[in-house]
Amino acid sequence: MDIKIPEVGESVREALLAKWFKKNGDIVKRDEPLCEIETDKITLDLNADVAGLLTISVAEGATVAVGAVIGVIDESTAAPEVSAATATPGLAEKLAVPSSSPSLRREMREHNITPDEIEGSGKGGRITLDDLFSRIEEKSKMPPSSRPAVPVEPALSAPEHPVVPSVEAPPTDIQPANVLVPDVPPVQPLSVHTEQTPVYSSGREERRPMSPLRKRVAERLVAARQQTAMLTTFNEADLSHVKSLRSTYHEHFLQRHGIALGFMPFFVKACIEALREFPQVNASIDGDDIVYHHYYDIGIAIGGDKGLVVPVVRNADRFKLYEIDQAISAFVEKIKSNQLNISDLEGGTFTISNGGVYGSMLSTPILNPPQSAVLGMHAIQDRPVVRDGQIVIRPMMYLALSYDHRIIDGREAVGFLKKIKEYIEEPEELLLEG
């Protein structure tokens, strides 16, 4: 069975084959991760559709067209299935255990550790991250001669010619109507390189090619500066009431919804209510027209290993607080496991970026065109403020709203941000709604 670069979106025509998790000649199992590919929008893992012998035809570092064949799985040499009934008790128990998380499997691959080397301490013998880290630490203390040997295979070279998909006639017994084969332009492969062997290194500096995702981010950031009239206005919010509500309802939310109540749902709800009152902020420019969106698709900027991505919570106005938290948590897990889809990133009418998770005190978030505004959250700090003529210490957060001055006037931008401040400082209404 051919392994092909999948279609991940209409605008994506090529992908970087970033990493093979398996070696040429390995026996692979069905649904086992084979390789990691990067596009200008997302990073994702390709899993085996069938079990069998893997033959790799395209090396790491090559840029290949969507639909191109990068390897083959020979199903005739698949490993024999071991049933739980005939397996030894220990093995049967392990077979019954749910599969480990993608992040754990990734760590095991990167450290050349197999499940057989680890004694799981989780339920039913399941391997936990603590078990894995203990094994990594144990291996690091072993003398080189006693460490398990890792087979080394000759590296594949990047193809001399662009890797493009071959188009074959459909089988005679299957004749789909109106089959359209898109023209795919030749794509020059990148030279093969790894983290251990940079493309260029001299003394105390080295040069590496930008990943497709990083290049796309760079292009959009420059375009946002050049194609919009971006300004930023600032305010600050007292989070005393929000923190008090989170503390009061923490156990309730955890027991009822299986998730702790975070800060982000309050800000999503506050933004939606403010957008209702200031529809210009939820609008966008299309040529000479202003398009007013009467729905609320809120983008949440999330930093991943490969760069910043902005998945969208669609129709967020219909979500309760815990549902917003669950949606964001699901996106975070997707990003960690390289399972984010193009559909998760498309659209969006307004974006929220939280630099506070990195300790940022104040910043000017950049627009995410064609959206006309973005809210920047920052770190919560105890600061002295005046309340009723008295100096008191309160948990304060600076807020920043960057907006496109072509469509949003300063009065509207300031009023919008003040409205968010009011909802955050008096959040009871938001909690009752969610």
Catalytic residues: 405, 409
Residue 203, Cβ neighbours under 10 Å: how many? Answer: 5
Report the amino acid identity of residue 248: T
Tell me how far apart the alpha carbons of residues 22 and 25 are, in angstroms, rounded to a whole number: 9
What angle do helix axes 240-257 and 321-336 make, rounded to 10 degrees? 80
Six-digit token string for 373:
């505004």
Six-digit token string for 196:
């251990």
Report the amino acid identity of residue 367: L
Which residues neighbour 83 within 8 Å (Cβ) at sequence distance 6 or greater?
none
